[in-house]
Amino acid sequence: MIRIGTSGYSYDDWIGHFYPASLKKSDWLEFYARHFDTTELNFSYYKQPEAGMLERMAAKVPPGFVFTIKAFQGLTHERAEDNGGEFQTFVEALAPLIDQDKFGCVLAQFPFSFHATPENVNYVKLCRERFGDLPVVIEFRNREWLAPAIFQLLREQRLGFCCVDEPRFSSLMPPIAEATAPVAYVRFHGRNAQKWWRHEQAYERYDYTYSDEELGEWVPKIEKLNAEAQTTFVFANNHFQGQAITTARQLSMLLGQAIAKTS
């Protein structure tokens, strides 16, 4: 199964580009769910999610809609030695999504500064232990992690590998497709090389419009992931002014056309 959506849905600059100006913010998720069957929650990176909030969000979407959720920054970026309690808080908050069968996986995105050291390999293993049996996908930003031994590690730990499309810097992950767990995952960050490292506002990094040709490069890769995994999540993260909506729709069309040709 391939599920296509956007990384986040609550952006003020989507008004007029996706959300009608007359639509209340409290109705955005319900409106979004009429167009897509999944979204990646990223507010949880900035603050720990609360079960009550996730329960209310789950009530706004129909059966069959699935959320993935980004791990809190204390788990992936700060990485204190005694953060077991933070893991527990995060995991317990997911109960409403799990109970309603609307939970897809956790996305644990590590920073570029997270190098492929023995210490950090052990931390990845610790993440598996502390997340318990939850499906978890790891996003490495640093290309140092691109090695057969790391893919083997992910498979042994039942951790998914996050495939990415982003600027083609030699230090970043290249656009490869690899499935290491039942859940496969792809994020489209855009290819704004000029603003990737140097920007005043974080959104500038993700200001990018994909062409059909660029997205078409991923069609056989996503089909490969779909053949190897039980569920493949595909999210557009080029969210500035609703460009992610266009990207998600383009991908749906391109993949639909490809599937139609082979059926």
pLDDT digits (tens, 9 = 90+) for 21-30: 999 999 999 9
Alpha-carbon span 189 to 252, nearest angstrom: 17
161, 124 Cβ separation under 8 angstroms: no
pLDDT of residue 221: 97
- Give me the pLDDT at residue 193, please: 87
Mean pLDDT, residues 237-248: 95
Instruction: Compute the 3-state secondary structure of the chain and give helix, strand, coil in percent, each to the nearest 5.
Output: 45, 20, 35
The class that CATH gives domain 2-262 is alpha beta
The fraction of the chain above a pLDDT of 70, given in percent, is: 97
Question: Over 80: is that where the pLDDT of 262 sits?
Answer: no
State mean pLDDT over 11-34: 97
* Mean pLDDT score, 14-25: 97
**Domain positions in the chain:** 2-262
Q: Tell me how far CA of residue 159 lies from CA of 135, 151, 252, 254, in angstroms.
A: 7, 9, 26, 28
Contact 145, 171 (CB under 8 A): no
187 in helix, strand or coil?
A: strand
Residues β-bridged to residue 142: 172
> In 3D, which of 190, 162, 185, 165 has the Cα closest to residue 175?
165
Residue count (the chain): 263
Number of helices and strands (H, E) in the chain? Answer: 11, 8
What pLDDT was estimated at residue 83?
85
In the chain, the percentage of residues whose pLDDT exceeds 90 is: 89
Q: What is the pTM of this model?
A: 0.94
Integer Cα distance of 172 and 143 in angstroms = 5
Summarised one tens digit per residue, pLDDT across range 186-220 is 999 999 988 888 888 877 888 999 999 999 999 99
Q: Report yes or no: 85 and 41 within 8 Å, Cβ to Cβ.
A: no
Q: How far apart are CA 142 and CA 211, in angstroms?
A: 26
